[in-house]
Amino acid sequence: MTAIHKKAKAHTNKLTPDKIRAQLSDSSRLLADLTASMVYDNPALLKPLIELSCGDSGPLPQRASRVVSICCCRFPELFKPYCSDVIRNLESLRSEGARRNFLLILAEAPVKLTKKDKSLLINLGFDFMTGNFSIAVKVYSMEILYKLSLEMPDIGVELSNLIENSLADSSPGYQSRGMKILKKLQRSNFK
Domain ranges of the chain: 1-112, 114-191
pLDDT value at position 125? 95
Proportion of the chain above pLDDT 90, given as a percent: 52
pLDDT value at position 19? 74
pLDDT value at position 186? 85
The stretch 108-124 carries a mean pLDDT of 93
| pLDDT, mean over the chain | 86
Q: Would you say residue 102 has pLDDT above 90?
A: yes
pLDDT digits (tens, 9 = 90+) for 66-98: 999 999 999 999 999 999 999 999 999 998 999
Residue type for 66, please?
Answer: R
pLDDT value at position 7? 45
pLDDT digits (tens, 9 = 90+) for 51-61: 988 887 778 89
pLDDT band at 8 (very low <50, low <70, confident <90, very high): very low
pTM of the shown model: 0.85
Please state, in angstroms and rounded to a whole number, the distance separating the CA atoms of residues 166 and 38. 42
pLDDT band at 41 (very low <50, low <70, confident <90, very high): confident
Proportion of the chain above pLDDT 70, given as a percent: 90
Higher pLDDT, 28 or 100: 100
The stretch 34-42 carries a mean pLDDT of 86
Kindly write down the DSSP assignment for every residue of 98-110, as one continuous string. HHHHHHHHHHHS-
Kindly write down the DSSP assignment for every residue of 1-70, as one continuous string. --HHHHHHHHHGGG--HHHHHHHTSS--HHHHHHHHHHHHH-GGGHHHHHHHHTS-SSHHHHHHHHHHHH
